Amino acid sequence: MIILGIESSCDETSIAVIKDGKEILSNNISSQIEIHKEYGGVVPEIASRQHIKNIATVLEESLEQAKITLDDVDYIAVTYAPGLIGALLVGISFAKGLSYAKNIPIIPVHHIKGHIYANFLEHDVELPCISLVVSGGHTNIIYIDENHNFINIGETLDDAVGESCDKVARVLGLGYPGGPVIDKMYYKGDRNFLKITKPKVSRFDFSFSGIKTAIINFDNNMKMKNQEYKKEDLAASFLGTVVDILCDKTLDAAVEKNVKTIMLAGGVAANSLLRSQLTEKTAEKGIKVIYPSMKLCTDNAAMIAEAAYYKLKNSKNEEDCFAGLDLNGVASLMV
Ligand code: KG4
Ligand code: ZN
């Protein structure tokens, strides 16, 4: 079974071909990071235009790499929510064009489910499990049962983790995206440099805006006093606090739900401290932590195709999975 995946929800145009839900024949990603860097974040209008400019080439290259033609494609999987609406609509319209021309059914995919299913491309996942979804737009703890039902049991009440990494990095002049830079700086800094109060948020919910503000206020104060400090120390204090919170809550959720596996998902799952600290903390409790390889953590279309594969596999009637040519994008939608 060949599924063509299409992802265009933010600043990556990606088209992938996967075979039988396991084999990635191609996963072509055209990143716009260099363009958005100049503005310190993603500019939605520019993102849409870049997707339009690139998507046909990304498809051509992806088919060529997979050594197939559109005639070999059984299903088209496309991200329809959540994301930047203009960006989403480019992928959706492109999918509709291919579907109409080649009579291939479209399977709409939720972006966050895609991030979670990235794990299924590389691991034999044991369900039920807990997934910590950490990306530029999301921070959720999701319980996934044996039948692949997703139950959201916790979420951020304000900023997403990736969003606060990017904002802190912007204020400190570290460039965009901030997550990978802060990841590296952590090891050159002292995480005990600034004591940051952890917010009191119930059970499995999160709040990161207070932590972000504490960092920004500290930096402003130092600037006002004309005092120097080591940015690595502040970055380490920030990341250390955030990762402690993510690990503690995820572990509590896994223990409460009595699961043996935790799956990391989303761009921030690429964070080396989060991966190592969570693995270390859970090992003591006999819980396994799995995460996708670096390339499958951030936005890509292989994960979208994989989510569609499982949608098909878990439905009694495959037609229930299909969308018509009236498929629309949704900017904001829970899993
Ligand atoms: O999942 P993703 O590619 O896009 C969204 O769906 O949002 O995630 C992008 C986010 C950005 O905020 C970026 O700073 C963060 O993931 N990120 C990281 C790392 N790599 C990417 N954050 C922390 N450490 C990393 N190594
Ligand atoms: Zn994403």
Q: How far is the CA of 299 from the centre of ligand 1 (A)?
A: 9
Which residue out of 109, 117, 134, 165 has the highest number of ligand 1 atoms within 8 Å of its CB and is therefore the one to mutate? 165
The complex scores an ipTM of 0.98
Encode pLDDT of 84-115 as tens digits.
999 999 999 999 999 999 999 999 999 999 99
Instruction: Mark the binding-site residues for Fe cation, compressed into ranges.
Output: 111, 115, 299
pLDDT at residue 335 greater than cutoff 90 = no
Q: Which ligand neighbours the alpha carbon of 208 most closely? A: 1
Provide the mean pLDDT of the chain. 97
- CB of 162 sitting under 6 A from ligand 1: yes
With contact defined as beta carbons under 8 Å apart, do 1 and 45 qualify? no
- CB of 299 sitting under 6 A from ligand 1: yes
d(CA 231, CA 208): 19
pLDDT at 334: 86
d(CA 276, CA 198): 21
Instruction: Mark the binding-site residues, compressed into ranges.
Output: 111, 115, 133-137, 166, 179, 183, 271, 299
pLDDT at 188: 98
- CB of 82 sitting under 6 A from ligand 1: no
Encode pLDDT of 133-162 as tens digits.
999 999 999 999 999 999 999 999 999 999
pLDDT at 284: 84
pLDDT at residue 119 greater than cutoff 90 = yes
pLDDT at 133: 98
Q: How far is the CA of 135 from the centre of ligand 1 (A)?
A: 5
pLDDT at 42: 94
Buried b (16+ CB within 10 A) or exposed e, 84-119: bbbbbbbbbbbbbebbeeeebbbbbbbbbbbbbbbb
Closest CA to 132 of 123, 124, 120, 141: 141
d(CA 214, CA 21): 44
Domains of the chain plus CATH, in order, are 2-116+297-321 (3.30.420.40), 125-294 (3.30.420.40)
Which residue's CA lies nearest to atom 7 of ligand 1?
Answer: 136
- pTM, 2 dp: 0.95
Encode pLDDT of 186-227 as tens digits.
999 999 999 999 999 989 999 999 999 999 999 999 999 999
- CB of 139 sitting under 6 A from ligand 1: no
